[in-house]
Structure 1
Amino acid sequence: MSPQPLALPSADWSEWLADYVLSRLRAVPRTVERLKDGTRRETADVLGLWNDADIALRGAESAALLFVEVHPELAVRRRGDELVQQVDRVRSERDLDRALYDVVAATDPAGLDEVALRMRDHVLRDFRRSGVDRDERTRARLRDISERLTVLEQDFGRAIRDDVRAIRIAPEQLAGLPADFIAAHPPAEDGLVTVTTDYPDYRPFYAYAEDADARRRLTIEFHNRGWPANDAVLHEMFDLRHEKAQLVGYDSWPDYDAQVKMIGTGDAIAEFIERISTAAAAAGRRDLDTMIARRREDDPAATIDRSEIGYYTQLIRREQYDVDAKEVRRYFDFTRVRAGLLEVTGQLFGLEYRPVDVPLWHADVTAYDVYAEGELRGRIYLDLHPREGKFKHAAQFELVGGITDRQLPEGVLVCNFSRGLMEHRDVVTLFHEFGHLIHHVLGGRQEWARFSGVATEWDFVEAPSQMLEEWAWDAATLGRFAVDESGASIPAGLVGRMRVATDFGKGMLVQTQVAHTAVSYLLHRDRPADHTAAVSNAMEHYGLIAELPGTHFQASFGHLAEYTSAYYTYAWSRVIAKDLFSAFHGDDLFDPSAAHRYRDLILVPGGSRDAADLVADFLGRPFTFDAYAAWLDRAPVPTAESAP
Structure 2
Amino acid sequence: MTAIDPAALSADPTAPAPLALPEQGWLEWVSARGDGGLDRARALVDELRAHPPAATLDVLARWDAVQTAMADAGSVGSLFSEVHPDAAVRERAETVVQRVQRLETDLGLDPDLFAVFAALDPEGLDDDASRLLERTLRDFRRSGVDRDESTRDRLRELNERAIVLSQEFSKNMREDVRSIRVRPEQLAGMPQDWVDAHPVGDDGLVTVTTDYPDVVPFRTFAHDAEARRELVTQFLTIAWPANDTVLQQLLAVRREIATLLGYASWADYDAEVKMIGTGEAIGDFVDRITDLSTDSAQRDKQVLLDRLRRDRPEATDIDGADATYYAELVRKEQLAVDAQRVRTYFDFERVRQGLLDVTGRLFGLEWHRVTDAPSWHPDVATYDVHADGERIGRIHLDLHPRDGKYKHAAQFDLVPGLAGRQLAEGVLVCNFNRGLLEHDEVVTLFHEFGHLVHHVLAGRGRWVRFSGVATEWDFVEAPSQMLEEWAWDEAVLATFARNADGETIPPELVRAMRAADDFGKGYDARTQMFYAALSYDLHVNPTDDVTARLRQLMARYSVFPYVEGTHMHCHFGHLDGYSSAYYTYMWSLVIAKDMFSAFDADDLFAPEVAARYRDRVLAPGGRRDAADLVHDFLGRDYTFDAYAAWLAR
Equivalent in the alignment of 2:4: none
Q: Does 2:500 match 1:501?
A: no
Match for 2:107 among 56, 72, 94?
94
Q: 1:163 aligns with which of 126, 151, 176?
A: 176
Please say if 1:541 is aligned against 2:581: no
Q: CA deviation at 1:532?
A: 0.2
Q: 1:359 aligns with which of 369, 374, 382?
A: 374
CA distance in 1, matches of 2:223, 2:175: 29
Superposition pairs for residues 491-530 of structure 1, below 5 Å? 491-530=506-545
CA distance in 2, matches of 1:74, 1:445: 34
**Aligned match of 2:492:** 477
Partners of 1:73 and 1:276 lie apart in 2 by 43
Q: Deviations over 1:513-544 (max 9, x none)?
A: 11000110011111211100111111121111
Query: Could you tell me whether the CA contact under 8 Å between 2:343 and 2:439 is conserved in 1?
Result: yes
Alpha-carbon shift at residue 84 of structure 1 (Å): 1.1
Shift of residue 30, structure 1, vs aligned partner? 1.1
Deviates more, 1:130-139 or 1:34-43: 34-43
Task: Tell me which of 177, 195, 203 is aligned to 2:216.
Answer: 203
Aligned to 1:57: 70
Distance 2:489 2:496 in 1: 12
1:383 maps to 2:398: yes
2:335 to 310, 321, 325: 321
1:487 aligns with 2:502: yes
- Structure 2 CA distance, aligned partners of 1:86 and 1:453? 23
Query: Counterparts in 2 of 1:122-271, with a 5 A limit?
Result: 122-271=135-284
CA distance in structure 1 between the aligned counterparts of 2:552 and 2:198, rounded to whole angstroms:
37
Q: Who is 1:641 aligned against?
A: none
Q: Deviations over 1:378-401 (max 9, x none)?
A: 000000000000000000000000
Match of 2:318, SS state, is coil
2:608 to 566, 586, 593: 593
Structure 1 runs, 4 residues or longer, greater than 2 Å off = none
Deviations 1:254-277 (A, max 9, x none): 000000000000000000000000
**Alignment pair present for 1:345 and 2:379:** no
Query: Which amino acid is 1:349 matched to?
Result: F
Displacement of 1:40: 4.8
On the 8 A contact 1:32/1:53 being kept in 2, the answer is yes
Partner Cα separation in structure 1 for residue 255 and residue 597 of structure 2:
40
Cα displacement (A) at 1:546: 2.3
Match of 2:575 among 560, 563, 569: 560
SS in 1 for 2:414: strand
Within 1, Cα distance between the matches of 2:573 and 2:51?
A: 45
In structure 2, what is the Cα distance between the partners aligned to 1:481 and 1:367? Answer: 20
Q: How does 1:384-423 map to 2 (within 5 A)?
A: 384-423=399-438
Amino acid at match of 1:403: L
* 1:18-48, Cα deviation, whole Å (9 max, x unpaired): 0011011011121111111144511001111
Q: Distance in 1 between matches of 2:117 and 2:481?
A: 38
Distance 2:554 2:452 in 1: 32
1:526 aligned counterpart, secondary structure: coil
Corresponding residue for 2:630? 615
Contact 2:52–2:59 (8 Å) recurs in 1: no
CA distance in 2, matches of 1:83, 1:626: 45
Hey, what's the Cα distance between the residues in 2 that align with 1:234 and 1:454?
Answer: 27
- Aligned counterparts of 1:491 and 1:81: Cα–Cα separation in 2: 48
Residue type of the partner of 2:470?
A: A
What residue number does 2:286 align with?
A: 273
Q: 1:353 touches 1:371 (CA, 8 Å); kept in 2? A: yes
How many pairs were matched up? 634
Alignment of 1:563-578 (within 5 A): 563-578=578-593
Q: Indicate the SS of the match to 2:54.
A: coil
Say if 2:454 is the partner of 1:439: yes
| Aligned partners of 1:537 and 1:546 also within 8 Å | no
Identity over the aligned pairs, expressed in percent? 57
Change in Cα spacing, 1:94 to 1:386, as seen in structure 2 (3 Å) is: same
Answer yes or no: is the 8 Å Cα contact 1:401–1:409 preserved in 2: yes
Partner of 1:306: 320
- Determine if the alignment matches structure 1 residue 43 to structure 2 residue 50: no
Matched, 1:109 2:117: no
Unaligned runs of 5+ residues in structure 1 are 635-644
Question: Counterpart of 1:49 in 2: which secondary structure?
Answer: helix
Equivalent-residue separation in structure 1 for 2:504 and 2:52 (angstroms): 67
Q: What one-letter code is carried by the residue in structure 2 that aligns with 1:42?
A: A
Conserved in 2, the CA contact under 8 Å of 1:540 and 1:546? yes
Q: Which residue of 2 aligns with 1:74?
A: 87
Aligned-residue offset at 1:217 = 0.3
Q: Is the 8 A contact 2:33 2:73 kept in 1?
A: yes
2:42 to 29, 37, 40: 29
Give the equivalent residue in structure 1 for 2:5. Answer: none
CA distance in 1, matches of 2:387, 2:542: 49
CA–CA distance in 1 between the matches of 2:304 and 2:542?
A: 34
Local SS of the residue matching 2:469: coil
Aligned-CA RMSD value: 0.7
What is the SS of the residue equivalent to 2:344?
helix
Q: Secondary structure at the match of 1:173?
A: helix
Residues 318 and 561 in structure 2, CA contact (< 8 A), matched pair in contact too? no
Report if aligned partners of 2:594, 2:638 keep a CA contact under 8 Å in 1. Answer: yes
Q: Give 2:302's match in structure 1, choosing from 286, 289, 300.
A: 289
The residue type paired with residue 298 of structure 2 is: R
Q: Secondary structure at the match of 1:328?
A: helix
Q: Which amino acid aligns with 1:232?
A: T
Q: Equivalent residue of 1:321, what SS?
A: coil
Query: For 2:319 and 2:587, how far apart are their aligned partners in 1?
Result: 27
Q: Distance in 2 between matches of 1:36 and 1:363?
A: 45
For 1:185 and 1:173, how far apart are their aligned partners in 2? 12
| Partner residue in 1 for 2:477 | 462
Which string of whole-angstrom CA distances, capped at 9 and with x for unpartnered residues, describes residues 145-165 of structure 1? 111100000000000000000
Please give the alpha-carbon distance, in whole angstroms, between the structure 2 residues aligned to 1:601 and 1:508.
Answer: 34
1:291 and 1:313 in contact (8 A); partners too: yes
Q: Which amino acid aligns with 1:304?
A: I
In structure 2, distance between residues paired with 1:504 and 1:596 = 33
- C-alpha change, 1:38 and 1:511, in structure 2 (3 Å) is same
Contact 1:358 1:367 survives alignment (8 Å): yes
Which residue of structure 2 lines up, in the alignment, with residue 11 of structure 1?
A: 24
CA contact (8 A) 2:395 2:426 kept: yes
Distance in 2 separating the partners of 1:379 and 1:39: 35
Deviations 1:278-321 (A, max 9, x none): 00001110111111111111111113121111101110000111
- In structure 2, the partner of 1:639 is none
Contact 1:165–1:222, Cα closer than 8 Å, also in 2: yes
* 3-state SS, counterpart of residue 377 of structure 2: coil
Output the CA distance in 1 between the equivalents of 2:222 and 2:200: 16
- Residue 333 of structure 1 corresponds to which residue in structure 2? 347
User: Is the Cα contact below 8 Å between 2:266 and 2:540 reproduced in 1?
Assistant: yes
Aligned residue for 1:532? 547
Report the counterpart of residue 11 of structure 2 in structure 1.
Answer: none
Question: Relative to structure 2, which stretch is displaced further, 625-634 or 298-307?
Answer: 298-307
- SS, match of residue 350 in structure 2: helix
User: How far apart in 2 are the matches of 1:37 and 1:244?
Assistant: 30
Which one of the candidate residues 20, 26, 33 is aligned to 1:20? 33
Partner Cα separation in structure 1 for residue 224 and residue 523 of structure 2: 22
Question: Quick one: distance in 2 between partners of 1:52 and 1:196?
Answer: 45
Native 8 Å contact 2:52 2:116 kept in 1: no
